[in-house]
Amino acid sequence: MNRWILIALSFLLALALSIFHWASIIIGGLIAGYFSKNFKEALAVGFALGFFIYGAFMAYLAYMGMLAKFLALSPLSYLSLVLCLALAVISTIITNFFSPYAVKKL
């Protein structure tokens, strides 16, 4: 199976599990980082996953009619974006070091 398909499936799995718990960001990052081929790709995939999950959260808040109230709490909205990105990026980078798909450059 193509690596990009597996990475996309990890995004969807993280989105599906994020309904239940925020740790799904870490799980999605671990799976996506496993299939990344180098550090730069793992970093990019981590940022993409973080923005994907945060965008889905914003869409959910807009659907529930709570987006304006959430954005009015500006420190909280900034903190949630930073935490979402940090969890996704750190988990993809750490897992990439142990991935058999990663191209090792010494």
DSSP assignment of 67-88: HHHHHHSHHHHHHHHHHHHHHH
Calculate ∠ Cα 48-28-45, nearest 5°: 25
Whole-number pLDDT of residue 106: 43
Q: What is the mean pLDDT of the chain?
A: 90
**The predicted structure's pLDDT at residue 27:** 92
pLDDT digits (tens, 9 = 90+) for 71-87: 999 898 999 999 999 99
CA 96 – CA 34 distance, rounded (Å): 5
Dump pLDDT digits (tens) for 14-27: 888 888 888 899 99
Beta carbons of 16 and 45 less than 8 angstroms apart: no
Residue labelled with tokens 């903190």: 79
12, two tokens: 């969807």
